[in-house]
């Protein structure tokens, strides 16, 4: 992609591969359709040899020896300097090679891109000072079981770090998503169009809720799925058999967060998870990292254990405190705008005490989105289950009267 740019066609781009041969790189480039006359590949790990290649340049004009227009080193942990008495990948080698490439970039005004390894914890391998030497740190993240990839900026001396790129891993390489708003939300519209049988009725499922997360400045709608089922050993425990226990498994959400919500739901909303095995999954392998999704998680958990579907086309935003009250979330207006773009009709948010903010939200979304304010988790559950009273929330779906189900907000 860098070599195909108009600014690099004359001088070219040098790609230094320290792990793969030139033939391997070319095979991958042919598969991805990325073969370019402006891309020069070298399989080399000696930094002095790399510098000689940079001096030679890749300009098509023989009389023009200006060097390459950009350099990519893959990876910095495989490059070594001969005058440093340590093997490649050690702290001294990585630091010294990075400093020399930095001086090259500053003195010749040439962009240098360093590709580095990461540890199991997600940190850049090597010395921590490596992140302080370079100008920009960009990290590509994603769940191995999902095709979605996030390109996050950890450090940027030329701008802010709030922008996030969302890509899809395909056979042709990384492709930008045309509509990231729908990347982590499943839709049943296409499934309903495949059947013309009038008798077929798709009923809403319990245990599913929607929220709007923020990746930098980019809103990401998320679908949270929860499943609560009676533990297998609970019946044996009642007859004097093995002891009863509950299992909790979460994909994309921390175990501590689930335990906190279990305690708040049982103490503040009388929703018990005793003798229940609970499984929580975030669609497309996304990992929740902000408290704004607490309310949607709590709604999905309560919906599954009570067997009651959540109000359709509704998003839930808010942090749940230990007292059961809802705390406001940041960048609320951006989240509400994203909810409207994907076709949602109702948004349940924490009660806003700022009069100016409340007026601004009501004015902007007066004719497009129904914004419902709730002070506590119990009030939000009433809206989610369309329940006029507290007792109707705590009852099972088969014990709820038809009048209560058809009641409005």
- Mind listing the pLDDT tens digit for each residue in 301-332? 999 999 999 999 999 999 999 999 999 999 99
Q: What is the pLDDT of residue 394?
A: 40
Q: Are 263 and 233 in contact (CB under 8 A)?
A: no
Q: What is the pLDDT of residue 396?
A: 42
Number of CB atoms found within 10 A of residue 22's CB: 14
342 has pLDDT over 80: yes
Place of tokens 């409207």: 340
Q: What is the pLDDT of residue 32?
A: 85
Q: What is the pLDDT of residue 1?
A: 61
For residues 408 and 388, give the distance between their C-alpha atoms in angstroms, rounded to a whole number: 8
What percent of the chain lies above the pLDDT cut of 90?
47
216 has pLDDT over 90: no
Q: What is the pLDDT of residue 56?
A: 79
Nearest to 221 by CA among 318, 286, 301, 309: 286
How do residues 257-295 score in pLDDT, each as one tens digit? 999 999 999 999 999 998 899 999 998 778 898 999 999
Number of continuous H segments (helices) and E segments (strands) in the chain: 13, 17
Residue with more model confidence, 357 or 325? 325
400 has pLDDT over 50: no
How do residues 98-132 score in pLDDT, each as one tens digit? 999 999 999 988 899 999 887 766 676 666 778 88
Place of tokens 């490596």: 130
- Residue 354 DSSP SS3: coil
Q: What is the pLDDT of residue 274?
A: 87
* Encoded tokens for 110: 């040439």
Q: What is the pLDDT of residue 389?
A: 40
For residues 371 and 383, give the distance between their C-alpha atoms in angstroms, rounded to a whole number: 11
Q: Indicate the range of 3-12, 89-98, 214-223 predicted with least confidence.
A: 3-12
Q: What is the pLDDT of residue 237?
A: 52
For residues 269 and 260, give the distance between their C-alpha atoms in angstroms, rounded to a whole number: 13
409 has pLDDT over 60: no
The DSSP secondary structure of 95-158, one letter per residue, reads HHHHHHHHHHHHHHT--EEEE--B-TTSPBSS-THHHHHSSEEEEEE--TTSSEEEEEEEEETT
**pTM of this prediction exceeds 0.75:** no
- Looking at every residue in the chain, the average pLDDT score rounds to 82
Domains 5-134 and 208-231+247-385 share a fold: no
Nearest to 385 by CA among 312, 289, 310: 310
Place of tokens 């923020």: 214
What percent of the chain lies above the pLDDT cut of 70?
80
Q: What is the pLDDT of residue 186?
A: 72
Q: What is the CATH number of domain 208-231+247-385?
A: 3.30.230.10
Backbone angles phi, psi at 325, to 5 degrees: -85, 155
Mean pLDDT within 184-199: 54
Task: Name the band, by pLDDT with cuts 50, 70 and 90, for residue 392.
Answer: very low
For residues 60 and 4, give the distance between their C-alpha atoms in angstroms, rounded to a whole number: 15
Domain boundaries, the chain: 5-134, 208-231+247-385
Those residues whose C-beta lies under 8 Å from the C-beta of residue 189, and which sit 6 or more positions away, are: none
Residue with more model confidence, 124 or 382? 382
179 has pLDDT over 70: yes
Nearest to 250 by CA among 267, 228, 272: 228
Q: What is the pLDDT of residue 403?
A: 34
For residues 79 and 92, give the distance between their C-alpha atoms in angstroms, rounded to a whole number: 12
Place of tokens 């340049």: 57
Is the previous residue joined to 348 through a cis bond, with omega within 30 degrees of 0?
no
Domain 5-134 falls under CATH 3.40.50.300: yes
Q: What is the pLDDT of residue 181?
A: 78
* Encoded tokens for 366: 């007066």
Mean pLDDT within 153-161: 88
**CA distance readout (Å), 140 to 122, 170, 174, 249, 260:** 10, 15, 11, 26, 31
Strand intervals (E) in 36-172 = 39-43, 70-74, 112-115, 136-141, 148-156, 164-170
Q: What is the pLDDT of residue 203?
A: 66
How do residues 50-108 score in pLDDT, each as one tens digit? 999 888 775 544 444 457 889 999 989 999 999 999 999 888 999 999 999 999 999 98
């Amino acid at each position: 992609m860098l070599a195909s740019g108009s600014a690099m066609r004359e001088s070219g781009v040098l790609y230094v591969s320290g792990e793969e041969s030139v033939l391997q790189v070319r095979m991958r480039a042919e598969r991805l359709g990325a073969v370019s006359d402006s891309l020069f590949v070298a399989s080399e790990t000696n930094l002095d040899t790399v510098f000689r290649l940079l001096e030679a340049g890749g300009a098509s004009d023989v009389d023009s020896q200006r060097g390459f227009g950009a350099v990519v080193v893959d990876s910095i942990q495989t490059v070594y300097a001969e005058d440093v008495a340590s093997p490649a990948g050690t702290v001294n080698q990585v630091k010294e090679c990075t400093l020399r490439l930095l001086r090259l970039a500053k003195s010749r005004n040439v962009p240098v891109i360093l590709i580095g390894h990461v540890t199991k914890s997600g940190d850049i391998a090597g010395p921590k000072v490596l992140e302080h030497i370079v100008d920009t740190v960009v990290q590509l993240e994603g769940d191995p079981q999902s095709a979605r990839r996030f390109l996050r900026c950890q450090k940027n001396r030329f701008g802010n770090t709030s922008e996030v790129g969302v890509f899809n891993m395909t056979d042709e390489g990384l492709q930008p998503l045309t509509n990231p708003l729908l990347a982590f939300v499943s839709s049943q519209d296409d499934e309903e169009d495949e059947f013309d049988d009038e008798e077929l009725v798709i009923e809403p499922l319990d245990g599913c809720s929607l929220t709007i997360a923020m990746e930098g400045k980019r809103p990401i709608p998320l679908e949270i799925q929860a499943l609560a089922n009676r533990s297998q050993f609970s019946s044996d425990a009642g007859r004097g058999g093995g002891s009863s226990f509950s299992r909790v498994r979460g994909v994309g959400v921390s175990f501590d967060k689930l335990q906190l919500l279990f305690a708040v739901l049982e103490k503040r909303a009388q929703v018990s998870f005793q003798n229940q095995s609970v499984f929580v999954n975030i669609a497309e392998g996304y990992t929740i990292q902000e408290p704004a999704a607490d309310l949607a998680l709590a709604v999905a958990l309560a919906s599954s254990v009570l067997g009651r579907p959540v109000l359709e086309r509704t998003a839930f935003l808010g942090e749940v405190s230990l007292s059961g009250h809802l705390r406001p979330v940041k960048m609320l207006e951006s989240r509400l705008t994203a909810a409207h773009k994907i076709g949602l009709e109702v948004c349940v948010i924490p009660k806003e005490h700022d009069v100016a903010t409340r007026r601004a939200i009501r004015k902007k979304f007066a004719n497009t989105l129904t914004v419902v304010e709730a002070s506590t988790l119990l009030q939000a559950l009433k809206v989610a289950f369309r329940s006029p009273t507290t007792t109707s929330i705590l009852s099972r779906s088969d014990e709820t009267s038809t009048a209560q189900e058809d009641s409005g907000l």
